[in-house]
Amino acid sequence: MLLVHIDFIILTLFGILSMYAVDIHDMHQSGVPMAVSPNTRQFSSLQQEIKDAAWRQIAESGVAALSLKSIARDLKIPLPTISNYFPDQDALVTSLIIDAHSSFGDYQISARDSFPNVGQFLQRLMATGVAYREWALRYPERYMLIFGPVSPGYKPPMDILRPFMMRSFSALVSVLRELRAARLLNVDSLPVLEPASFESVLSAGTPISKEDQIIYTLALVIRSRVHGMVSLEITGQLPPYGDGASSLYEFEIKSIVRQFVDI
């Protein structure tokens, strides 16, 4: 009798599982979206998927609309799964800012290095300036996350972000150092800032030479000028110049060169 009961239970369970398998197969064939277990994804893959979903949200609605719940819904994963990768939303935002600065810096460095020959100072300076705008136009949501307002209440962890911020600044600084070493910089009238002014890219108390004060001051002046034009363009506050926008930007880069480089 006991064996009969066991056989009956096994057959019943087998029937239920078979029906469930058929339902799953039918859902798959019909295109019904199904939640994907995070265990079936590689850690790094799901981490990148979370960030990609966050970038899509930012591009569509701005960083203020960023929501972990929406990301979980978009990726069809449980909300607590995200905490395995990012403890909270601020951690996710910090990771996005790091990625943006890294990409921004890499793009400018690559442009600078496209002119590797000795003495190509001006070409490297021009290429770095052009790359600044090109990257911003290609990734406007990343540009605005770096330079625009972030989520309400978000406090950037500067000790973590500073090295990546410096990387996005390093291509310009390196070219200016080359020009200074070649005695081609005209900085006689430049008001040199105090070291405390550079704490966004240098840790507080970092020793800085007088020469580096000159370089960083000029780099901040140049970045401020190109940043102004690019930010107005990115946010739609310039008229629709079309191709003329590139000409205006190139004119500004050449104006900077004429003002600060002895050619």
To the nearest whole percent, how much of the chain has pLDDT over 90?
65
Do 138 and 254 belong to one domain?
yes
Q: Which two tokens stand for residue 79?
A: 């909300």
Q: Which residue is associated with the tokens 């972000």?
A: 161
- 226 in any annotated domain: yes
Are 62 and 142 within one domain? no
For residues 77 and 124, membership in a common domain is answered with no
The pair of structure tokens assigned to 201 is 């890219």
| For range 197-224, the mean pLDDT | 85
State the average pLDDT over residues 207-230. Answer: 93
Per-residue model confidence (pLDDT) at position 240: 66
Query: Count of CB atoms within 10 A of residue 9's CB?
Result: 10
Question: Is position 13 within any domain?
Answer: no
pLDDT band at 194 (very low <50, low <70, confident <90, very high): confident
Q: What is the reported pLDDT for 111?
A: 98
| Residue 138 tokens, joined | 């290609």
Residues 128 and 237 placed together within one structural domain of the fold? yes
* pLDDT class of 156 with cuts at 50, 70, 90: very high
Are residue 113 and residue 80 in the same domain, yes or no? no
Residues 72 and 163 occupy one common structural domain: no
Residues 237 and 164 reside in one and the same domain: yes
Supply the pLDDT for residue 18: 36
Looking at the structure, do residues 67 and 122 belong to the same domain, yes or no?
A: no
Question: Could you give the residue ranges of the DSSP H alpha helices within 67-157?
Answer: 68-75, 79-82, 89-113, 121-138, 140-147
Task: Specify if 23 maps to a domain.
Answer: no
Do 171 and 232 sit in the same domain of this protein? yes
State which residues form the domain around 197: 105-260
> From the CB of residue 139, how many other CB atoms can be counted at a distance below 10 Å?
19
Q: Output the domain CATH number for residue 171.
A: 1.10.357.10
Distance, C-alpha 184 to centroid of its chain? 33
Which amino acid, residue 214? I
Nearest CA to 127 among 147, 107, 102, 142?
Answer: 107
7 within some domain: no
Question: pTM for this one?
Answer: 0.80
| CATH number of the domain enclosing 61 | 1.10.10
Tally of structural domains, the chain: 2
Is 95 among the domain residues? Answer: no
